Amino acid sequence: MSAPLALITGASGGIGEALAFEFARHGHDIALAARNTEKLSAVAAQLAAEGAKTHIITVDLAVPEGPAALLQALEDLQLTADVLVNNAGFGDMDPVAAANCAKLTAMVDLNVRTLTALTCALLPGMVARRRGGILNVASTAAYMPGPNMAVYYASKAYVLSFTEALHAELAGTGVHASALCPGPVRSGFQDAAAMRGSLLLKLSPMMTPAQVARAGYRAFAANRREVVPGLANKLMAASGRFSPKRLTMALVKRLQTQN
C-alpha cells in the first residue's frame, strides 16, 4: 500500500515548508504547491534527502484560475491527495482607506476563495475513502477584529469558522478537519505584510515555523478542532473572545501601528 499523500499549499517557505517536513516524518508523501519553482525545488531536495517522495506543482493560487490549475496538475500527475493543508495566504498592514484595493481583494481570493475551492474539490473523495483530512492554517487573528489589518483578520476568522463547522460535519466519517492558529512566526510573512515596524512584533514572542508545524500536525493527527500554539498566543486568542470588543480593537489597532 502506497504512503498517503499530503498536498501543502504555500509550501516554498515558512510554516508551509515546516509542515511538509512534519508530514513527511510521519510517513506521508508530499506534494508541494506554490508560485516559486526554485524555492519549491530546494524544499523538495531537502525532503528527498530525508527519504520523502515529493512532487512539485508550480501554481499561483491567488488568481481565479489557480485552484483549477492545481487540481488539473494533480490529475495529470495521477495523484490523490489524502490530506490537504491549506497554508497559502498573505496579509497587509494598512487601514482600508489607505490600502491597495487590488491587494486586498487578492488576499480574499487566496485566503478564502482558494481554500474553500480546494476543500470542496478534495473533501468528497476523502469522505468516500473514509480517511485523510483538511488542515487549515488560520491565525490568532481569527479570534478578533483587526484594525489596520482588517481584511487579513476577517479572512482568518472565516478560515477558523469554516474549519470548526467542517469538524462537526465530518464527525464519524474517519476524516479530520483542524485549524492551526499561530501567532507571530519567524518567517517572511512580516516583510510581505509590511509589519516589521509594528509594536506587535516588538512585544510578541515569536515562534519558529518548526514549532508551529509540530503543534499543527499533532492537533490534526488527534482530530482536534483547533490549536493555538504557545501560551502567550492562547492568552491573546482568549482575550479576543472574552474581552470587551472596544478594548480589544483599541489594543489591536495600537499594536498594529508602525513605530
The residues that are catalytic are 152
Q: How far apart are CA 209 and CA 49, in angstroms?
A: 20
**Amino acid of residue 55:** H
Between the alpha carbon of residue 6 and those of residues 181, 190, 244, the distances in Å are 19, 26, 40
**Amino acid of residue 152:** Y
C-alpha grid cell, residue 86: 491549506
Residue 253 near residue 148 (C-beta atoms within 8 A): yes
Sign of torsion, CA 88 69 52 216?
Answer: positive
Query: Which residues are registered as beta bridge partners of 8?
Result: 32, 85
Residue 79, H or E segment: none
Alpha helices in the chain (DSSP H): 14-25, 37-49, 66-76, 101-108, 115-129, 150-169, 189-192, 199-203, 209-221, 231-242, 245-255
Contacts with 171 (C-beta within 8 Å, 6 or more apart), sequence order: none
